[in-house]
Amino acid sequence: MRYGQAPEVLRDIDLRLTPGSFHFLTGASGAGKSSLLKLIYIAAKPSGGHLRIFDHDILTTPRTELPFLRRRIGVVFQEFHLLDHLTAFDNVALPLRIVGQKLEQYQSDVIELLDWVGLGERLWAYPPTLSGGEKQRLSIARAVVTKPDILLADEPTGNVDHAMALRILRLLVELNRMGTTVVIASHDQDLVARSGMPVLHLEHGRLSTQPAAAPRQFPDDFDTFPQTGIL
Ligand X SMILES: Nc1ncnc2c1ncn2[C@@H]1O[C@H](COP(=O)(O)OP(=O)(O)O)[C@@H](O)[C@H]1O
Q: Which of 32, 127, 133, 148 binds ligand X (CB under 6 A)?
A: 32
Q: Which of 146, 157, 176, 186 binds other proteins (CB under 8 A)?
A: 146
Exposed, middle or buried by CB within 10 Å (0-12, 13-18, 19+), for 29? Answer: exposed
Distances (CA, A) of 69 to 62, 74, 150, 208: 11, 10, 11, 27
193 scored as a contact of other proteins (CB under 8 A): no
Kindly state the DSSP code that residue 214 receives in the 8-state scheme: S
How far apart are the C-alpha atoms of 3 and 124, rounded to whole Å?
38
Q: Which of 34, 176, 180, 186 binds ligand X (CB under 6 A)?
A: 34
CB of 210 to other proteins, least distance (A): 29
Residue 149 binding: pick among Mg ion, other proteins, ligand X, none (C-beta 5-8 Å cut-off by kind): none
Q: Which of 24, 32, 34, 106 binds Mg ion (CB under 5 A)?
A: 34
Give 189's contacts (C-beta < 8 A, 6+ positions apart): 26
Beta strands 181-185 and 150-154, pairing class: parallel
Q: Find the part of the chain contacting ligand X (CB under 6 A) among 2-10, 134-142, 171-179, 219-227.
A: 2-10
156 scored as a contact of ligand X (CB under 6 A): no
Closest by Cα among 1, 66, 59 to 35: 1
Residue 3 binding: pick among Mg ion, other proteins, ligand X, none (C-beta 5-8 Å cut-off by kind): ligand X
The SS3 call for residue 166 is helix
Strand partners, 203: 206
Summarize as ranges the residues that interact with other proteins (CB under 8 A). Answer: 41-45, 63-64, 67-68, 70-71, 75, 77, 81, 83-87, 89-90, 93-95, 97-99, 102-103, 107, 111, 114-115, 120-121, 123-125, 142, 146
Q: Which residues would be at the binding site for ligand X (CB under 6 A)? A: 3, 6, 9, 27, 29-35
